[in-house]
Structure 1
């Protein structure tokens, strides 16, 4: 173990940005913004505490032990600390650098965990065709009655109660992707305002293909020609957050090539978690000079679907509802990465507030993490569920009919929250794209 910690210390010295470590003034402004610190009150569970641990390891004051590794893994990576930091410390970059170093030396992954990580990060997510096969498999699972048998027997719960809970809120899977559905080029309706490339994502295209379809329709209705580069792949967010930085870089390079060849004006994401790494491809590839221009070109063009509709698109017309009985109450749960990294928290609110016969209620602490955080709710279920419990207290206080969000992970987590804790079991969690599309007054195709 001593040799392992010594090697990890050496790698931390190489990978961690020491200037950023010393930029932290220990002021504590990050503490009330940090979900894990709010839940525990423990200094080491805060950004300031984790930065102190990183610096102590690099300076040789402490050995980066198993406890050090665990503390780095406890962070949700929501990056709520960054907007709160007066010194502009790039905490998100630091935590990814630390995890990258840990991944090279960790002794915590047992054999089966290493195997699962290899399958997920190297054999599955980088390959769109394999993701499609997984989608088809889930479709068969849902439509053949196998899902009903599994739920009745409680088979999933034998392995993990958390996975059993997540399986209950699994959406109906289309079994096909957006390109198979509508092709790679969709013309603008009316006067063309520009050409956008749609980032279809991995989980979005597999679990939420209908939302991808509706995203294209909204963009087309707003005046954009939509191109969906077929050679694009996973954004690399899960890889970067989990210490698989080299793999994330390769995925980024392929996406840059795909969208540059498409010649688009903007690159549109409908998933906050994907958008946050897409907009930072320039940083991800900062140490590779030959990709400097490509990373910058890509990052400058990334926009969230709400932002492009609000800022660049033709004004959409929405159905106002016929009677007072049609009025619904909604609230919005921020995607952490959309809010904290892409700075896109206002656009969804403006769009939702513009709808007639919709009563928008701002939720208390809407910007705090819901506990999803990529695969955090699978790897750290206890903390994730604790955060979700408190989130649902604020959701219930709004008495909303709909919880609207802008990220697939948040959407699934809020569905789980409704399943477990909602006062009103008729409450629904919906993606903002689905909510807007279903209220369009225009005659768009609805052939899903």
Structure 2
């Protein structure tokens, strides 16, 4: 970094960082055992929450200068927020991290690859669902046309890093473009009585690459007695932007989503992706300095609820649920647990399934290493964290790893592939798992009635 760049970053830290939040840190160290990067770097204080806060404060106070080492420390943070629930002072570290990245990335000289990636994906792809459908449609063509098998057979994928080779194998089968464009906007309940009227936040990746999981979510809500509306003008939640130092773009998407859901007249806004939900529920903080939008953001945030939470509230777990002879373990979505405080409900749902033995994984609440695009930009540390996670998952002897976030799902699929366990273990999103359990139990019940009537 040259002198001018250092000056810009220093000034940005003074303007963007919440100094009062920095001062809330008492350096007690309760956060240290919860931080994956602190543990995986051999307990290096620089890569701990209180170490990063000390760096932020030093930059604001002018006691240290911006450097590549400081940037590396901020970059290496997963943003999992595991430090927040254990902090006796209630430090909102996730917010400080976003502010620090905003200060750094809006002030430093960006490399050409970084400019291209953020320009293409963050500015011109994720905010526009039609473009997401188009790009995902190309991926679907690659999978269905035989091009994928050809690329694997002739060894093209060997030109890419090992983690990307494995990731290419575990990507879900993408629906056709026609299917992605035919999203229904109003879905009635499949019960005699309507229990709730809800809106569904369908997301960008979730409604393209993981569209079948979105469909499963809607079916579960129907079986639980919900009338569902899916606002057409909703957009990407902005989490990837916010976590990557693009807070201005994140604010624009927040405003678009608030406006999209305001006229829906619903009891709740339901999410099925932990990362999206945790970002949506903090739109009020994101827009705290905007008097026109802050009140509207607060009303929006009050309605956000994860699908597992509403299923428990509507007694879905008391319905017939069954799968045959499976051992299941659960990997927490960091943001669902630490951001939305939802971790008991997924376990209650899994434990309610007949024929399933639920085994708690050691450190299920520790990050799997996905963290948005972390497994791409910090691949080595991500794989190190994943190796530990797979070690714990394997010890449970589970046939299925269940999680509640698309990034976590792909990361666990990647771990299974890397460990050569694909024939003995699978990873699934919790709503897909619950729908399979509901359908099997009700198919068996219907079959029993038919036999009894003869």
Tell me the TM-score normalised to structure 1 length: 0.95
Name the counterpart of 1:162: 163
Does the 8 Å contact 2:8/2:108 carry over to 1?
A: no
- How far the C-alpha of 1:423 sits from its partner, in A, is 5.1
Provide the secondary structure at the position in 2 that maps to 1:207: coil
Q: Where does residue 18 of structure 1 map in the other structure?
A: 19
User: Cα RMSD over matched residues?
Assistant: 1.5
2:245 paired residue number = 243
- The answer to whether the 8 Å contact 2:317/2:352 transfers is no
| Partner SS, residue 384 of structure 1 | helix
What's the offset of the Cα at 1:153?
2.9
Counterpart in the other structure of 2:215: 213
Contact 2:180 2:207 in 1 (8 A): no
Matching residue of 2:121: 120
The reply on whether 1:101 has 2:86 as its aligned counterpart is: no
Q: Matched residue of 2:106: which SS?
A: helix
- Aligned CA distance change for structure 1 residues 341 and 11 (closer, same or farther; 3 Å): same
Partner of 2:358: 360
Measure, in 1, the Cα distance between the counterparts of 2:374 and 2:207.
Answer: 21
Aligned position for 1:270: 272
Aligned length: 438
Change (3 A) 1:220 1:316: farther
Q: Is 2:133–2:180's contact at 8 Å kept on the other side of the alignment?
A: no
Counterpart of 1:36 in structure 2 is 37
Secondary structure of the residue that 2:363 maps to in structure 1?
coil
| CA positional deviation for 1:145 | 1.0
Partner of 1:344: 342
Tell me what 1:203 maps to.
Answer: 205
1:320 CA drift (Å): 3.3
Q: Deviations over 1:168-222 (max 9, x none)?
A: 1111001348774451000012200111111111111111111100100100110
Worse overlay, 37-46 or 163-172: 163-172
User: In the superposition, relative to structure 1, how do residues 316 and 271 fare at CA in structure 2: closer, same or farther (>3 Å)?
Assistant: same
What's the CA shift string for 1:206-254, capped at 9, x where partnerless?
A: 1111110010010011011010111101000000000010000000101
The aligned counterpart of 1:175 is: 176
Return closer, same or farther for 1:330/1:317 CA change in 2, 3 Å cut-off.
Answer: same
Alignment of 1:282-431 (within 5 A): 282-312=284-314, 317-320=319-322, 326-421=324-419, 425-431=423-429
> What secondary structure is seen at the aligned counterpart in 2 of 1:439?
helix
Shift of 1:68: 1.1
Measure the CA separation in 1 of the matches of 2:274 and 2:141.
29
CA change 1:183–1:134 in 2 (3 A) is same
Q: Indicate the residue corresponding to 1:71 in structure 2.
A: 73
Please say if residues 221 and 316 of structure 1, whose CA atoms lie closer than 8 Å, have aligned partners that are also in contact. no
Match of 1:446 in 2: none
Contact kept, 8 Å, 1:178 with 1:205, in 2: the verdict is no
- Equivalent residue of 1:329, what SS? strand
Structure 2, unmatched stretches of 5+, are 444-454
Q: Deviations over 1:146-181 (max 9, x none)?
A: 111222233244243332221111110013487744
After superposition, the Cα gap between the structure-2 partners of 1:140 and 1:423, relative to the gap in structure 1 and judged at 3 Å, is: closer
Per-residue deviation, 1:316: 5.2
- Which of 76, 83, 86 is residue 85 of structure 2 equivalent to? 83
1:258 maps to 260
Query: 1: distance between equivalents of 2:238 and 2:67?
Result: 28
Q: 1:390 to 1:314 in 2, by over 3 A?
A: closer
Quickly say closer, same or farther: Cα 1:241–1:231, change in 2 above 3 A: same
Query: Structure 1: how far apart are the matches of 2:244 and 2:145?
Result: 35
Matched residue, 1:136: 137
> What is the rounded CA distance, in whole Å, between the counterparts of 1:199 and 1:250 in structure 2?
17
C-alpha displacement at 1:287, in angstroms? 0.9
1:7 is matched with 8
CA separation in 2, counterparts of 1:256 and 1:73? 30
- Asked whether the 8 Å contact 1:330–1:401 carries over to 2, the reply is yes
1 CA distance for matches of 2:116 and 2:156?
22
Label 1:291 to 1:442 Cα distance change in 2 as closer, same or farther (>3 A).
Answer: farther
SS in 1 for 2:203: coil
SS of 2:293's partner is helix
Q: CA distance change for structure 1 residues 320 and 112 in 2, over 3 Å: closer, same or farther?
A: closer
* Secondary structure class of the residue paired with 1:359: strand
CA–CA separation in structure 1 for the residues paired with 2:10 and 2:339: 29
Say if 1:137 and 1:175, in contact at 8 Å, map to a contact too: no
